[in-house]
Amino acid sequence: MLRKVSRRGEAAPPVDEAAPQREIISLDFPVPSECAGWRLDHFLKRRIGRLSRTKIQRIIREQISFADGRHARASSAVRAGELIQLRRPAPVEPAVPRTFTILHEDESVLAIDKPAGLPMHTTAKFWRNTLAAVLRERYPDEPMKIAHRIDRETSGVLLVARTHEAASFLTVAFARRLVAKTYLALVKGAPPDEGVIDLPLALRDTKSRVMMGPAPAGRGLAAVTRFRVVRRFAAHALCEAHPETGRQHQIRVHFAAIGHPLVGDKLYGASEELFMRACDEGVTPELLEAFDGLPRHALHAHRLTFPHPRTRVPLTVVSPLAADLVAYMRDLPDV
């Protein structure tokens, strides 16, 4: 154990040389031609998102450099084609489940049962605790590529390509809507026995920068969800949802739009303010009560049918409803 001495000669706190050093994250942001001449702070706001002006200023001071060595200032003009370099200590990450069950495996694809709480990719909060990182650790010699996205709090079937050829094939299959997805959603109230929600969606201009909503007439992206009720409770319903399009938060926004938000949905069932508090503070007992007593939203990717990249024959993979949602429903009063 060493003890450093401050400039004023005072003994500083002891330094444990054996203490693990935090890994340094290195990210490079190439500047596209359409951003040439932008202020550096404006470029980072677009590239990273969900950052306050104060936080962007701090990041520029402490973590940003230009590849050519010039000094980075908020007002610095970025140049087309250059790299903006970010170097920062890896975050102290919240604990998440880092294991998953394999539902199907062959030489082309891997279908896993993603647990709720495991994020897909790197964010401001997560570096090692992501599905992408776990796949790299478990399959270090394979070019694993996640074929589609589901929200961090959503559980269930997720498809991963094991080869570049399979990844390319599945990208086209999803784009051409050749993949059929079925979700199970526990919603509030008593929705109709079945229905079709045809409601274009758009990203809303809000503080969180992730909130979607119904688009103004003649604008937005087409979004269609078919649903049917599979079980009713006194004040809830378990619905099978079939999204015909794949918009961000589509099922959650659509059910909220018809007056039946998902149980535990922080953003569309509670409020954006409470959602942002949960992001900053975690789900406290007070917030948990506001989120219907469920730490995550009640959405589960139940079934996925896709053309197999090698055989082209449709393959269906099913994930049973997650145990936490089964337990939650067990306590709901029946009709």
Q: Tell whether the torsion through CA atoms of 89, 95, 96 and 100 is positive or negative.
A: positive
177 CA to centre of own chain: 21
Q: How far apart are CA 316 and CA 298, in angstroms?
A: 22
176-193 burial, b if ≥16 CB within 10 A, otherwise e?
Answer: eeebebbbbbbbbebbee
- Write the CA distances from 202 to 148, 158, 198, integer angstroms: 20, 25, 13
Q: Which residue shows structure tokens 């969606």?
A: 201
CA dist 251 and 247 (Å) reads 9
Question: Which residues on adjacent β-strands are paired with residue 218?
Answer: none
Catalytic residues: 151
Closest CA to 270 of 258, 282, 288: 288
DSSP secondary structure code for residue 255 in this structure? H
Which residues have CB under 8 Å from 205's CB, separation 6+?
none
**Beta strands, E only, the chain:** 2-5, 11-15, 24-30, 64-66, 83-89, 101-105, 109-114, 145-146, 155-161, 180-188, 194-198, 201-203, 212-214, 224-232, 236-243, 299-307, 314-318
For residue 181, which amino acid is it? K
Relative to beta strand 2-5, strand 11-15 is antiparallel
Q: How many CB atoms lie within 10 A of CB 114?
A: 25
DSSP 8-state assignment for residue 137: H
Q: Is 110 helix (H, G, I), strand (E, B) or coil?
A: strand
